[in-house]
Amino acid sequence: MVNGPAPDTDAVAMRKSRRQDGDRFSKTARHKHIISQLTAAPTLRASELATALGVSGETIRRDLMELQHQKLINRTYGGASRPFALEPSLVDRKRLMIAEREAISAVVADIVLPNEVLMLGAGATTFHVARRLAAKARDITVITNDFAIATALAANSSIRILCCPGRYHSTEGYVFGTQTIASINSYEANRAIVGATGIGGRGINDADEEAGAIYGAMVKRAAEAIVVADHGKFEQRALTVFAQWTEIDRLVTDRQPEGALAKALREAGTEVIVAQH
């Protein structure tokens, strides 16, 4: 099978899905298949993938090499295994913008000082922040509603991790609900670090109403609010606007915002930090 230059992952995906005439799977289709298989089975054999997808072993090996580079899989001799907790629905969002998120996380981790109290909202980007904090931070307290974040932070024994109560969201891996909100409102924190589904001129929004409510509570409760979002979130619109830019002290992203978003940030006095990657 044949593939073009691949200018951008999104573009490739679109072009591929358009032309799935009778022949075999496209490259991105194979990658998705591999990831989804990995959510079910902890390990895969490259040879089995090759026969299952009807391509040569060499092609699968190259696929695995790419996915490993994106940190979406863990390479083994003869196959692949899942890298860490690979929550089904988080995969699609995690797979994109890995490098951007790592850069953003590095900046955020440098902002955090020892002995601070943080609130960390659930999400893919904040999860990267947590991993970075686990590697760098010292003697901080983190309040979170995300299991993956708590587990990632646990690698650093100098971090005190406080978990919120609530109903456990099976697919997203965090707790939510009125108890969660009430719990957040009982804490005082130096900073809240939250993600978003989209950020735009009208504020910060999230596709999940429950997650948005929790983000909003964290933002209101902390002395300083930081939003982390890669440029893919710019001008995205989703269900709930959970905070206005006037409430946000800093936006850490990977590309300079423009247009309505930039205007809103300027008017609200939100500091914009662009991480280099």
- Dist. CA 120–CA 195, nearest whole Å: 9
Whether 70 contacts 98, CB under 8 Å: yes
What is the pairing mode between strands 198-200 and 160-163?
unpaired
User: Rounded CA gap, 81 and 97, in Å?
Assistant: 21
Single out the segment in contact with DNA by CB under 7 A; choices: 72-80, 120-128, 198-206, 238-246: 72-80
Question: Which listed option, DNA, its own copies, none, makes contact with residue 26 (CB within 5 to 8 Å by class)?
Answer: DNA
Return all residues near 24 (Cβ < 8 A) that are at least 6 apart.
1, 53, 54, 55
138 binds, among DNA, its own copies, none (CB under 5 to 8 A by kind): none
The Cα 159–Cα 272 span in angstroms is 27
The entry of its own copies, DNA, none that residue 151 binds, CB within 5 to 8 Å by partner kind? its own copies
Per rule CB under 8 A, is residue 79 in the interface with its own copies?
A: yes
Task: Indicate whether 185 belongs to the interface with DNA (CB under 7 A).
Answer: no
Partner touching 93 among its own copies, DNA, none, CB below 5 to 8 Å by kind: none
CA distance 160 to 273: 27
Which span sits near DNA by CB under 7 A: 75-83, 161-169, 176-184, 225-233?
Answer: 75-83
Alpha carbon 250 to its chain centroid, in Å, reads 18
22 binding DNA? (CB under 7 A): no
Residue 264 C-beta: closest distance to its own copies, Å: 35
Out of 40, 77, 115, 157, the residue judged to bind DNA by CB under 7 A: 77
- Residue whose entry in the numeric block shows the structure tokens 């969201």: 169
Element (H, E) at 194: strand 189-194
Residue type, 189: A
Residue 192 and residue 215: Cα distance in Å, rounded? 8
Give the interface segment with its own copies, choosing from 10-18, 82-90, 123-131, 222-230 (CB under 8 A): 82-90
Q: Binds 21, which of DNA, its own copies, none (CB < 5 to 8 A, cut-off by type)? A: DNA
β pairing state of 43-45 and 79-81: antiparallel
Asked whether position 84 contacts its own copies by CB under 8 A, the answer is yes
Which residues of the chain form contacts with DNA (CB under 7 A)? 1-6, 12, 15, 18-19, 21, 24, 26-27, 30, 45-47, 54-59, 61-63, 77-79
**Contacts with its own copies, residue ranges (CB under 8 A):** 42-43, 45, 74-79, 81-85, 147, 150-151, 153-155, 157, 160-168, 170-171, 173, 175, 179, 183
